[in-house]
Amino acid sequence: MTDWEAVIGIETHVELSTNSKMFCSCPTEFGDEPNTAVCPVCLALPGALPVPNEKAIEGIVKIGLALDCEINERSLFYRKNYFYPDLPKNYQISQYTYPVCEHGSLDVDVDGEPTVVGITRVHMEEDTGKSSHIGDGGGRIQDADHTLLDFNRAGVPLVEIVTEPDITSPEQARAYAAELQRIVLALGVSDARLEAGSMRFDANISVRPVGTTELGTRTETKNVNSLRSLQRALAFEIDRQIRVLEEGGRIVQETRHWNEDTGVTTSMRTKEESEDYRYFQDPDLLPLEVTKEWQDEIRATIPELPAKRRRGFLDAGVDVETAGVLADDDDLSRLFRDAVAGGATGRTVGIWLTGEVIAYLRRQEITIADTSLTSGHLVELGSMVDGGDLSSSAAKEVLLAVLEGEGTPGEIADARDLLQVSDTGAIEEAVDAVLAANADAVDKIKSGDMKPFGFLVGQVMRHMGGKADPKVVRSVLEQRTGS
């Protein structure tokens, strides 16, 4: 029996959310009316000339810098020639040699196992139009009665990010894709919506016997519209390829289509080799210059990236999962930081924000801004718990009331009579009363049998109407019984 290992490389397309298209001034924000955001350039009327969109170039450079790429000061636009009805020019303007960004990397982590995924290139291209195949064929071109074309999307700036074949499992592929999506969102260059297609993954995969280094023949799977489908599609493809090879067959280099409902991939078309596209430099476009000065200006606008943000949260004492949840949310991140800066304990605030607060926001379908919770409230609440004035379960009740706008933690704890007594005098009195009434229990404890200790704690709490700080009760009891 051969043991197999998977080799995976991912191509990601990201639609940039610029105001206008890549090579013309048509808007990218369009309503439902097809073919309204079009002009001679994106409809490829004879004589119309493309002009690159500066904001789009800034967007791709941001992505490249965030992925630790080298930015080419001079890059070239090529024509990628193929015929399809949604491509009015019969070529797509893309890049080939000298893309804007090359040789980057992205660190991903699966269950604490770090891997570095090499980024081969990040290049600039333009999106195609959208075809709808009408008829009984379930949207498939071969069974359609006719096809409708909408060119509103034609020419929208598209960034392609290509990895080295460094990924070794579907889980890692998912982690890579998720991290890339977080980065794109943090950069604010795209809405990166997988279900809407503004971020799309093509999953290249091959298998080979463990211990060999030569790459096997790969397939490329399209139509994965969520992180979960990316993982599922790859897992399916690994099994399928291994089965084919073990039955003595061979893998055909082809493009396959993931079907979310059936959970299988099917062959779409045999894969074109790049020679088939007759790439040549676009004579309508000059070389693109991204000077060092411009790169520096763009670098200065890059916000804190998710990985760095997570590291900061880990350093503030939260666990990996909590750090991830906090970092994905700007409002929660800000509250967390401000609360910790104000003296609150990171671990406690992290638990509140990712527990009670998120659950509350989801229930009410609102955001932090719709509530009156401030970092000051978190600091106050934290110090009440640390100071023994509030039990941790009472703190959660108070937190919900703060979210509801009932007041500050102090006011709420007071109004709801939730404050604990940690004043030792009052507790000592209660302890003495309880000990006097339970001489048997005291004798047992004094002779080394600790069983009744919990019972005594409970009695003192009862005596105090449940409002004593149990820590103080325990320590007074220990003193008094000499245990």
Interface with ligand ADP by CB under 6 A: which residues?
Answer: 7-11, 162-165, 204-206, 215-216, 218, 274
For the segment 1-20, give every residue that binds Mg ion (CB under 5 A): 11
- Please tell me whether residue 154 binds Zn ion under the rule CB under 5 A: no
CA 329 to chain centre: 10
Shortest distance (Å) from residue 114 CB to Mg ion: 27
Look at residues 451, 461, 452, 387 and name the one whose alpha carbon lies nearest to residue 431.
461
Shortest distance (Å) from residue 81 CB to Zn ion: 20
Which C-beta is closer to ligand ADP: that of 165 or that of 350?
A: 165
What value does the CA radius of gyration of the chain take, rounded to a whole number of Å?
Answer: 31
Shortest distance (Å) from residue 51 CB to ligand ADP: 27
Shortest distance (Å) from residue 125 CB to Zn ion: 16
Cα end-to-end distance, the chain, whole Å: 64
Q: How many residues bind Mg ion (CB under 5 A)?
A: 1
Which C-beta is closer to ligand ADP: that of 10 or that of 22?
A: 10
CB under 5 A: which stretch of 18-26, 136-144, 243-251, 405-413 binds Zn ion? 18-26
- Please tell me whether residue 42 binds Zn ion under the rule CB under 5 A: yes
Which C-beta is closer to Mg ion: that of 11 or that of 397?
A: 11
Which C-beta is closer to ligand ADP: that of 207 or that of 288?
A: 207
Q: How far, in Å, CA of 234 to CA of 231, rounded?
A: 5
- Please tell me whether residue 26 binds Zn ion under the rule CB under 5 A: yes
Which partner in ligand ADP, Mg ion, Zn ion, none is near 157 (CB below 5 to 8 A by kind)?
none
Which C-beta is closer to ligand ADP: that of 117 or that of 353?
A: 117
- Residue 455, token pair as written in the block: 């019972």
Which C-beta is closer to Zn ion: that of 89 or that of 121?
A: 89
- Please tell me whether residue 48 binds Zn ion under the rule CB under 5 A: no
- Please tell me whether residue 24 binds Zn ion under the rule CB under 5 A: yes
Which C-beta is closer to ligand ADP: that of 163 or that of 371?
A: 163
Which partner in Zn ion, ligand ADP, Mg ion, none is near 42 (CB below 5 to 8 A by kind)?
Zn ion
Which residues here bind Zn ion, judged by CB under 5 A?
Answer: 24, 26, 39, 41-42
